[in-house]
Each structure stands twice: as C-alpha cells, then as structure tokens.
Amino acid sequence: MKAILTIFTLIALACTSSVQKQIPVESGQAFDIDQTNMEKSFYDFKMKDIDGNEVDFNQYKGKKILLVNVASKCGYTPQYEQLQELNETYGDKVVILGFPANNFGGQESGTNEEIKQFCTSNFGVTFQMFDKISVKGIDKHPLYRWLSDKSQNGWNDKEPSWNFCKYFINEKGELKQFFSSSVNPLDEEIIKLIEA
C-alpha cells in the first residue's frame, strides 16, 4: 500500500511541477519554453490579402492603423462607404485594413472573390482587404487574439461583438482604442486619433 501511495505522489508531483525546457535559437543562445508565448508585436503578423498575397505587417511601422471586421450582408455594411471616404481623405495619415468574417449571423458567406467584387462594385473600396478569417470563438485568428487579449496587447479584452467593430493602432504598433459596430468610421473620436 505504501508503494502505491508513493507512486501516486510521484505522479502528482510530475504533473504539477513546471519543468522548464531550454530551446536553442539561431544565435546559439537558449531561452525558457515559458517565454515562447511572450506578447507578440503587431508588426510580427503576416497574413494573406484578399487576392492570396502575403502581407507583412512590418510594412505598417510608423503608421496609424484602423482594423475593421467586415461583412457584406449586415445592417452596418454601408459603413464601407465611410471607410472608403476615410481612406480617400486621410489615406496619408491612416491605413485601413478590412477583415471579412462570417462570425455573426452568416453575413459574410461569400468567397474572397465574391467579397472583393461586392466591395469594389458597390462601394469602390480601395483600402487593403484580407483573406476571410474568424474574429471570435475557438478558431479566432491569432491577430484577433492579440487585439482582444490584454495579456498580449496590454489593456484590451474586448473582442468583436458584431460586424464592423474597429481597433485603432498608433504609429508604435500599440493598440489605443476599441470602437463598437455602431461607431461610424467618420466619428469625431476616430478623426481626432488620426489627426493627433
């Protein structure tokens, strides 16, 4: 009986102890495995655009960014018009990134080609659009995990509650503001952030 208790104790200790493994890196140094989940920078992301080309977010260094999860069959879909107006008026001061997502009411069920056609023919969209992703739930894209997890972005835990939620990133790659779907892209608060 004593031997069985000893075995269970050893198993319990093995399960609860945190063994830190060393992982070699190219420079020859090593770091603890616990650090592999360190906060990722906004500029570390690489994603496919709506045409399937890779976009390195490193190119956005020094620029203000407005990220929006978009959909073609939503009550907020007319915001594409304001987003395009914002792009035309302030394109030298802010980069607009659109992320089609089908997380809310099945309102973005189309293919990338169909989404692109819809956006250009109905709203003349010229700002950067990306491959359709998930912005909520178990399959949430890592970018949206970063945007909605304060352990990664520093302060915000709000994830999109519907289509056309907006995240504002400053020139240093820091998340500065979250706006709900009902906030118009031309809202005074967004304009102030762009012009600041």
Query: How many Å apart are CA 36 and CA 178, to the nearest integer?
Result: 27
Classify the phi-psi angles of 28: left when phi > 0, otherwise alpha if psi is within -120 to 50, otherwise beta: left
Question: If DSSP codes are grouped into helix, strand and coil, which group holds residue 106?
Answer: coil
**Do the beta carbons of residue 133 and residue 101 sit within 8 Å?**
yes
Query: How many Å apart are CA 117 and CA 111, to the nearest integer?
Result: 10
User: Of these residues, 15, 74, 119, 165, which one is catalytic?
Assistant: 74
In the residue annotation, 15 being an active-site residue is answered as no
Query: How many Å apart are CA 19 and CA 25, to the nearest integer?
Result: 19
Which structure tokens are listed for 13? 């200790």
Which structure tokens are listed for 144? 């949206």
Chain-centre distance for alpha carbon 12: 38
The residues annotated as belonging to the active site are: 74
